[in-house]
């Protein structure tokens, strides 16, 4: 996005082989890429060779995948599960697999036994009311829904959510990482803490999820990752 706001700035992507050890040759190649003007916007290093993607010849084509009847039945943890993207994916899993869903969010929802009173005393535009109605709709579709209140960058909180899910459902078959904070605004007005807040759920959150799901306790070790 930066070159679209600042025409005098060029951005390039240098792709190193994640499966190969980073040696002197790759480091030297990376230094050369950073210090040499060039027009190649996408560059990849593989087995000692440099590959470049010419933007004028680069083409996109659909990736073929085998047809599937629907998502397999199971237990799915969705971070950011009460957000727009999370609820759409949860709806799909509820319709196609009658899945058991563990939906996490930073704020959670009011206690379940207060939902009817909450809906009666709050308008239809209330944020929590909309989420409660969405969860009820998921359950009407046949899904079993558990709500977890935890920030995805809070390792202790996510570990507690995973442990509770394992205790209730036995194991977790799939994880959808949909938590995030939408960025916006002009680049020159961005501060480091603003950028960090956008990156944290995606980058740090993924690392937290890996550790929370790996676990070492007898409760969390029942969870499987896909």
Domain boundaries defined on the chain: 2-53, 75-222
Give the chain's mean pLDDT. 85
- Amino acid 68: pLDDT: 62
What local confidence, expressed as pLDDT, does residue 217 receive? 41
pLDDT confidence tier of residue 167, bands split at 50, 70 and 90:
very high
Residues whose CB is less than 8 angstroms from the CB of residue 24 and which lie 6 or more positions away in sequence, other chains included:
none
Neighbours of 170 (CB within 10 A): 12
Q: How confident is the model at residue 93 (pLDDT cuts 50, 70, 90)?
A: very high
C-alpha to C-alpha distances, 95 to 81, 92, 105, 140, nearest whole angstrom: 16, 5, 22, 10
What's CA 16's distance to the chain center, in Å?
23
Nearest to 176 by CA among 71, 95, 98: 71
CATH annotation of 75-222: 3.40.50.720
Q: How far apart are CA 158 and CA 164, in angstroms?
A: 10
pTM assigned to the model = 0.74
Token reading at 217: 């306790």
State pLDDT tens for residues 110-133: 999 999 999 999 988 999 999 999
**pLDDT 10s digits, 26-71:** 788 788 888 887 778 888 888 878 888 765 566 778 888 777 666 6
């Amino acid at each position: 996005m930066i070159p679209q706001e600042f025409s005098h700035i060029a951005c390039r992507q240098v792709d190193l082989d994640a499966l190969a050890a980073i040696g002197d040759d790759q480091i030297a190649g990376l230094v050369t890429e950073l210090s040499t003007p060039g027009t190649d916007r996408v560059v990849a290093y593989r087995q000692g060779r440099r590959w470049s993607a010419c933007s004028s010849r680069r083409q996109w084509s659909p990736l073929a995948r085998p047809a599937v009847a629907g998502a397999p039945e199971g237990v799915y943890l969705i971070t950011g599960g009460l957000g727009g993207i999370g609820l759409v994916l949860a709806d799909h899993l509820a319709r196609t697999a009658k899945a058991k869903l563990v939906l996490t969010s930073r704020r959670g929802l009011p206690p379940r036994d207060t939902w009817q009173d909450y809906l009666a005393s709050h308008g239809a535009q209330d944020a929590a009311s909309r989420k409660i109605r969405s969860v009820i709709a998921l359950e009407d579709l046949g899904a079993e829904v558990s709500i977890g209140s935890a920030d995805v960058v809070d390792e202790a909180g996510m570990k507690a959510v995973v442990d509770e899910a394992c205790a209730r459902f036995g194991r977790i078959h799939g994880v959808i990482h949909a938590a995030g904070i939408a960025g916006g605004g002009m680049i020159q007005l961005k501060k480091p803490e603003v950028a960090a807040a956008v990156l944290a759920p995606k980058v740090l959150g993924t690392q937290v999820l890996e550790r929370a799901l790996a676990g070492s306790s007898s409760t969390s070790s029942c969870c499987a990752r896909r």
